[in-house]
Structure 1
Amino acid sequence: MNTSTTIRFGRTPTRYDAVSRLLHWLSLMLLIAQFGLGWLMPDADSMKTPAGLAAWHVGVGTSLLAVLTARLVWAVVRPSPGAAEQSGVLRFLATAVHVSLYAALLFVPVLGWINAGGRGWVVRLAGLWDMPQLAMPDSLGASIGEWHSASATILLILIGLHVFAVFVHQIGFKDGLLRRML
């Protein structure tokens, strides 16, 4: 008997669950805010403590790191939809972009955290809870702001590739891939 209340074990879902979708779109909203704040904030080199847009940038960055951590933990504990039907080359490229995207989503805020610690800034999760210092004031961490910016640019390129691939699937392949995350 197969009714809508029947629980099926071991079956691969056809779309992502509500928590995965929420964390995905929350990540996007935080990234939009983060890139906007990063471009609009004044030069951080002259700041002794983060203030104004720079303080918001740090707070949103730590929030993004927390959401990414939740995404990674959630991805381990729940089943996800199987890979899209596509050639081996496209599957390889999709995997490479996804792995790179997750790595950059982790790497960019951690570099920012190290840079902030090197500047002697107190880094707070969502602007509320103090986080451990990853670098001491006036250490090498203070000089990696360019790495943080460059890796953010790479992240933006990876996001662009991800969005482009979604459009190719949706418009070119017409395989409804986007529906899995809506």
Structure 2
Amino acid sequence: MNTRNTVRFSDTPARYDAVSRLLHWLSLLLLVAQFSLGWLMPDADSVKAPAGLVAWHVGIGTSLLAVFTARLLWAAMRRSPHPVDQHGVLRFLAAAVHVSMYALLLLVPLLGWLNASGRGWVVRLAGVWDMPQLATPDSPGASIGEWHSASATMLLILIGLHVFAVVVHQAGFKDRLLRRML
């Protein structure tokens, strides 16, 4: 048996697997669409039923929630590359940003779903399949639109920090960190 080409379960890959990379970049595309629609759509407080850009925003938001859920499930089942060798403070900051981003990638669409349900809107996964109503018009769900917006802003800031860190690793540390996700 050729042991040089044998992969052991304990081996840690140098890169993320193809599914992880696909889900990462798909998440990015959906986030770019979401933030673009969020800035371009009319004020959601004045909308009686989701139509046009608002309907697209809701549909893409539910798609993002589905992709992120798949991403979490896949991450639980596969082995990740070892963390980059860096100073303990940087490792802590990277972990804090990643955990916060993951939490907000779950929280932001959930708050949007709760808010849309509270407005009495029909929320559809990818704009196609009806999802359960999480709130009623007389519940607090209808009034958490500001929480949805504020948490989305925090998510955007964390994404900016994430991108900045990748640029620093590539250009400053020259450790080819980006290659792990390409």
The TM-score by the shorter chain falls in which range? over 0.9
SS of equivalent residue, structure 2 residue 84:
coil
Cα shift readout 1:15-58 (whole Å, capped 9, x = no counterpart): 00000000000000000000000000011112221000000000
SS of equivalent residue, structure 1 residue 121:
coil
Contact in 2 for aligned 1:65/1:106 (Cα 8 Å):
yes
Q: Name the residue aligned to 1:44.
A: 44
CA RMSD of aligned residues (A): 0.9
Which residue type is aligned with residue 154 of structure 1?
Answer: M
Q: How far apart are the structure 1 equivalents of 2:138 and 2:37?
A: 24
Cα shift readout 1:75-115 (whole Å, capped 9, x = no counterpart): 00000101000011110000000000000101110000000
Q: Name the residue aligned to 1:53.
A: 53
TM-score (norm. length: structure 2)? 0.97
Deviation at 1:3, TM superposition (A): 5.1
TM-score (norm. length: structure 1)? 0.97
Which residue type is aligned with residue 148 of structure 1?
Answer: H
SS of equivalent residue, structure 1 residue 135:
coil
Unmatched runs of 5 consecutive residues or more in structure 1: none
Contact in 2 for aligned 1:68/1:105 (Cα 8 Å):
yes
SS of equivalent residue, structure 1 residue 92:
helix
Q: Name the residue aligned to 2:141.
A: 141
Contact in 2 for aligned 1:120/1:138 (Cα 8 Å):
no
Q: Name the residue aligned to 1:7.
A: 7
Contact in 2 for aligned 1:169/1:176 (Cα 8 Å):
yes
Which residue type is aligned with residue 175 of structure 2?
Answer: D
Q: How far apart are the structure 2 equivalents of 1:9 and 1:141?
A: 46
Which residue type is aligned with residue 103 of structure 2?
Answer: A
Q: How far apart are the structure 2 equivalents of 1:52 and 1:2?
A: 58
Q: How far apart are the structure 1 equivalents of 2:75 and 2:82?
A: 13
Q: Name the residue aligned to 1:20.
A: 20
**Runs of 4 or more consecutive aligned structure 1 residues displaced over 2 Å after TM superposition:** 1-4, 6-9
Contact in 2 for aligned 1:125/1:131 (Cα 8 Å):
yes
Deviation at 1:129, TM superposition (A): 0.7
Counterparts of 1:161-172 in structure 2, within 5 Å, are 161-172=161-172
